[in-house]
Each structure stands twice: as structure tokens, then as C-alpha cells.
Copies of this chain bind each other. A is one copy, B any other.
């Protein structure tokens, strides 16, 4: 199946379950305080996006012979709820104000503070609430797992794998944040972040949880990594390309925010390496400059094109996707599911948002 069709189908089927889950939680906690009920509404409204991770959980389940669609749709919410929790914290760390065209959680609560409270700083209140709502989200995702319609032994395996991956993601994030504050970051460092922060978390992990839900054992799911790691790194490379090439409406956040945040990307590294001395000087002043104008962002884009950094990044991503695809027959022998895995891999670098 075409990747976008698969994703849309997943969203169509899982959204009502998600809404029901949060609406139930909202009612359950309304008795504590209206603040809690509102948190549940804010959380579910924040969710959205492509749902790659939830959909891959379902796909992994199907590849390993799982047949109970309702059960896997319910269980896969764990992954999407966790993704939102990590984005809430990520947005604080990146000091991002927009996510999918809407204010980020810390910005939302900062605004609420101004309307509602008499004391304290709106900005700090926003950060507190976004940290706390993220923490609540991680607990919620574990409640989804605890309540999922699978055998306790299966849930135990998912619990272990899931938290190993989230731990690795947290490590990847710490390295990423640290590199943003460093000089002399090398290509292998960038690839390390892509691997630990993104690839395991976005592709390998979700497919593996799905496989475990279908009854696969810990030892059986190792081979998913051969597909997930290269495809997941390619996904991140494409993400970084879109971060400087896409349009604001499509991306849902300002173009150039990666540059302003001094995010370490392959594009960034290669443009610096291959730029003329004059352009290099400009790039060095642009990366990490939070006051960068849109004209200056355009100049970074131009340098990224003309140095060949973009072409290099695209080539690496395409090679990784092809590498990942070569392992598809080891994951499933079902030709339809193989087809979906191939198209999913292509989608990671062909998407325009």
C-alpha cells in the first residue's frame, strides 16, 4: 500500500479511539480541578502530525502476523502520546514557538497566564506547565500499555523495549543539545544523533513494539533494525532538508529555525566545509544567530545549494533508504506488506512536509 494511504488510514481509524481515551480521562480528572481537565484537552489538541510512529506500530504488528486491528490501534496510542510528550519537552529545549502552525505548549500556557494569573512570570509558568504536561503524557502512555488488550507477558516485553528506546532517545537528545553548544561537530557525530535520537525512536522502535504485540520474541525483532536504522537516519536527513527548504505553511514553523538554533545537520556541516571563505564566514555568523532575518536565511539556502551540500545530503539519504529496503524480505514474506514497507521507506525521503 502507498505510504500516505497507509498513514491516512491509520489516522482515520485511530483518531476516534484517541479522542475517546482523552475524553474519558478528562471526565475522570475533572473532579480534581478544572486545570487537570483542561490539561487533557490541551494534550489531545496538540496531537496530530503524520502519525508515522503509531502507523508503524500497526505495520510491525501486521508483518509479524497480528490480526486484532482494534487491539493494536488502541495499543499504538502509547507511541503517539509519547511522541507528543517528547515534542512538548523538545519545544522548550529548542525555544520553538510554533509546532504544526499552532503555538507550542509552553507558549500556550504562557498566554493563558497573562489572561488568568496575577503573580509570577508568564514565560516561566508556560515552561513549568509544558514540563509537567509532558511528564503526565509519559504516564498516560504507560497507562495505555497497562490497559491494552494483550497478554501480560507481551506487555512486559513491550514495556522493556519501549523504555529502552525512550532512554536511548533521551541520550540522543542530550548529545544533540550538547552539540548545539559545541564547535567542531563531525559527520559521525551528526549521524550518531540521527541514529540514537531519531532512527531507533521513529522507525525501529515502533515496528518492534508492533512485532512484540503480535507475539514475536525479543530475539526475533533484532532484524527490524537493519531496515529501521538506515531508513530512520534518512528520515532525519530529510527532516533537516525540509527545515531549510520547505515553506512555512507546509512546515508549520518558521523556515530557518534550525539555523537559528545552531542545529547540527549534514547540510550545515557540508555547506560550511565546501563554502568559499567569504560564504563560510557568513555561515559561521548565521548559525546560532536567533535574530537572523529572512534575507539572511535565503542566503544560507543559496549557499547550501551551490556548495552541493543539498545534493550530497539527498544522495546519502537515498542510499540509506535503498539499504534499508534490501532487508524488507527478511522482515515479512507477505508481498503486500513488503510493498508497504518499501513505499514507507521511500516516503521518508520523498515527503514534502
Contact = CB atoms under 8 A, between A and B. Distances in A.
Interface of A: 29, 32-33, 35-36, 39, 86, 89, 92-93, 95, 113, 116-120, 124-125, 127-129, 131-136, 138-140, 142-143, 145-147, 151-153, 155-156, 159-160, 162-164, 166-168, 170-175, 177-178, 180-183, 192, 196, 262, 288
Contact of A171 (B118, B136, B146, B156): B136
Q: DSSP majority for the A interface?
A: helix
Number of copies of this protein chain within its complex: 2
B117 A181 contact: yes
B146 A113 contact: no
A118 B178 CA distance: 10
Contacts of A120: 180-181, 262, 288
Contacts of A171: 29, 32-33, 35-36, 39, 136
B174 A129 contact: yes
A196 B32 CA distance: 8
A136 B178 CA distance: 16
Contacts of A35: 171, 174-175, 178
A230 B175 CA distance: 44
B182 A119 contact: yes
A118 B180 CA distance: 10
Contact of A146 (B163, B174, B175): B163
A168 B33 CA distance: 11
Contacts of A182: 117-119
A277 B225 CA distance: 69
